[in-house]
Amino acid sequence: MTAPVHPESAVIGGRRARPDARERVTGSIRYCADEAVPGLLHARLVLSVYAHARIDSLETTEALAVPGVVAVLTAEDLPIRGKGDMRMFSPLAGREAVFAGQPIALVVAETPEAAADGAARVWVNATPLAVVLDAEAAMDPSSPLARERAQEHDGEEIRSIHAGIGGHEEAAAPALALSRNVVGRHHHARGEIDAALAASDVVIRRRYTTPWVYQAYLEPHAATAIPTADGGVELAVAAQGTQYARSQLAKIFGLPLAKVRVRGTPLGGAFGSKLLVTDPLAVGAALALGRPVRVAMTRREDILATNPAPGSVLELEVGARADGTLTGLRARLVFDSGAWSEWTIESIAAILVAGPWRWEALDIQAFGVETNRVGTGSYRGPGGPQASFAIESALDELAGRLGIDPLELRRRNLSQTGDPMADGTPWPVIGVSAILDEVERHPLWAGRATLPAGEGVGLGVGVWAGACAPASVSARLEGDGTLTLITGVVDMSGTTGTFQALAAHAFGIRPEDVTVIVADAHVALTSPTSGGSVVTYSVGRSVVAAATEARERLLRYASQEMEIEPGDLEVVDGIVRPRGAPERGIPVATLAARGEGKGVNGQPIEGQGSTETPALAPGSTGHLAHVRVDQETGEVTVLGYVLIQDAGKAISPALIEGQMRGGAVQGLGWALWEALRFDETGQPITGSFMDYAVPRASAIPPIEARIVEVPAPDGPLGARGVGEAPVCGGAAAVANAIAAATGARLATLPMTAPEVLAAISAGDANGAA
């Protein structure tokens, strides 16, 4: 199999920039916080300085005296009617602050400056409580609780999202005495793990740790809420899912859905974070004050108070026989869910940690544990970067101990379609085999034995199980022959371009003649939240269905006009023509103008594509990192990077490659630099981009993006979602490259120069059992 060729002009597979590329690159795009709103009030957050404290009282007199300050709102002032154990129901801390950085009050003023001055003059009287920071220690029944509220929990309450995977029966969890800080618990078991490991010729035991990581999008969270005359609210928000926001806001504020209108503003990046963070604050303040209120976070607020990826510990025991057959995987995963556990992701990691590999036996236990850190959220492929770092590092080490080529080891143990995932779900068709073929052929991999001393190449495989959702899209032929698509799906990553191509292909016109309207939540048909690599895969099907229905109506009309059976007509390059007689064709634009977009008997030439939930279509990637390690300083320089991804079918290769490169860079951030750090009292000490180190362009080599196509049976034209998989597997590739270069095995992210130097100095003693 060879990589597909993508001619520039092709509708499917043509190289086109995303439609809003110019606006984004030139900075002319208007984000939520840029919009002018008459009578707008600006809010600034008062953040808790304590990681855990009882809030005794707030002194607001000084703040209210600042000219321009309109109000200081506390939890009691927000008209919240709904109840739930999620941050959206408690956007301001009430009696208890559970992390340093938690919003306690909202200072609302006529100007952002006055709001900031006011926020600096709110005094919080609080009584410090015991701070829980070590997630593993917090599991012990004798541990203090991260939140007093936890005592109200009724036994083991497990909340999690599965992002489309899971749902199969979990194994019975072994009886363990656990504290109420443990809010998530998952167990997958198959076969006789003890026997499988005992019968192994080589067993690797290692403890991998990953830090809290911030999504670091360009645009901080922002929302603008405007009260309406009917007692409802209009919200403009940088959100990944406007219909999700609308339904949740109606519950939070006890409003009928008809009174909640939500409009998505152009996203300046989100990566999983932009879900109901600023929305309840803005809506609550607007309803309380009866005036438009904007909550636009500063970078500091965004880093301290939103929903980064959680820190994790992954203890793995993996075995293999001398011939390279994997035997058993025993894993114990502890994910720190911080102060809010609604997006706890250990359930996803518990499945992904087995990788796409075949195990004779496995036993995976995963725990989500509340601590006094910022509440966790989703970050691109949640659980995937952590799980793949651990398992792909372990496989590489296993290969080294067995004396088997790491790629060959993976080939021998690759799951086939129908083999069980960790939770028993049968693996759908996945593209890992095709990716490994590409890796094997790549000169960087083939030539890795001839590198100079201090350099190495590492391989990491990433898998994202995928997500799927029902969705509806409508399509309408305009009087000028263009097609208008209406969806409520927020364009987070350039999916508008993909929708244009899919609709153009289905209808028979050029992509630039398709207009995609992202409608407000209350207007659009059923539209899932953008996330989990759901949009191209699930909504793309609806786009094709809608355009296909509209095309059928067009052909019926053309049939009547041309007196030819619809079945004998085709639409090619915007011209409806009889098969075999292209010279008799009539342009779509002509037909559209003739009927003003109407067809037979005035029937509108429209279509509605409503599709059910498709089957899972996992995405997969192969990463090759080429590094040089400075043996004296531990500095790692990434000299080259190759990312190979199965896109199923590349509808918009330029957009896919953009996703791949972005994911690879974020993966390098996980690998080498990024970490939210906290001191021993729970104070965040990386509250700005001075201290929180995102990758700089100068540290990133050219990234070679190669697409392979292993069609997804249910995907539009075979396409798969591509958003998450590029960030899964990258950190392992770098760790494996460092090991190849130095012999030192890093098991802690990020692999900063001091860590690398320490590992080199410690030799193989570092953590290996």
Partner 1 sequence: MSRYLAPAGLEEALVALAGGARPVAGGTDLVVGVRQGRFPIPDDLVAIHRLAGFRGIAEGADGGLVIGAGTSHAEIVAHPRVTRDWTGLADASAIVGSPATRATGTLGGNVANASPAADTVAPLLCADAVIVCRSTAGERRLPLDGFATAPRRTLLRPDELIVAVELPAPAPGSASCYVRLEHRRQMEIAIVGAGALLRLEGGRVTAARVAMTALAPTVRRVPEAERILLGSDGGAAAVTAAAEAVAAAATPIDDTRASAAYRRAMAAVVTRRAIGGALARARGETVTIPASDTLFGAA
Site residues for partner 1 per CB under 8 A: 628, 630, 632-633, 635, 637, 639, 673, 677, 685-686, 688, 690-691, 693, 695-696, 698-699, 701, 752-754, 757
The DSSP bridge pattern shows strands 361-370 and 514-518 to be unpaired
Are the beta carbons of 62 and 120 closer than 8 angstroms?
no
Give every CB contact of residue 705 below 8 A, 6+ residues apart in sequence. Answer: 643, 645, 656, 657, 660, 661, 664
Query: Least distance to partner 1 from the beta carbon of 376, Å?
Result: 21
Closest CB to partner 1 among 210 and 686? Answer: 686
Closest distance between partner 1 and the C-beta of residue 633, in Å? 6
The first and second tokens of residue 743, run together, are 């012999």
In total, the chain counts a number of residues equal to 769
Least distance CB 705 / partner 1 (angstroms):
19
Closest distance to partner 1 from the beta carbon of 211 (Å): 12
Q: Closer to partner 1 at the Cβ: 177 or 690?
A: 690
DSSP string, 544-599: HHHHHHHHHHHHHHHHHHHTS-GGGEEEETTEEEETT-GGG-EEHHHHHHHHTTB-
Give the list of residues 6+ apart from residue 443 with CB closer than 8 angstroms, or none. none
Give the DSSP letter of residue 180.
T
Decide whether 40 or 699 has the Cβ nearer to partner 1. 699
| Alpha helices (H) in 159-278, listed in sequence order | 193-198, 242-253
Residue 701 or 767 having the CB closest to partner 1: 701
CB closer to partner 1 out of 526 and 683: 683
Closer Cβ to partner 1, 266 or 701, answer by number: 701
- Return the number of the residue (479 or 763) whose C-beta is nearest partner 1: 763
Q: Which is nearer to partner 1, 115 or 422 (CB)?
A: 115
CB of 648 to partner 1, least distance (A): 34
Continuous segment of H or E residues that includes residue 634: none
Side-chain-side CA neighbours of residue 287 (13 Å) = 26
Q: How far apart are CA 660 and CA 681, in angstroms?
A: 38
Q: Which residues contact 232 (CB under 8 A, 6 or more apart)?
A: 255, 256, 258, 259, 260, 261
- Angstrom distance (rounded) from CA 536 to CA 534: 6
Strands 636-646 vs 703-708: parallel, antiparallel or unpaired: parallel
Measured from the Cβ of residue 28, the count of other Cβ atoms closer than 10 Å reads 10
Closest by alpha carbon to 627, among 421, 458, 439?
458
What are residue 517's phi and psi, to 5 degrees? Answer: -100, 120
Give the residue with the Cβ less far from partner 1, 563 or 632.
Answer: 632
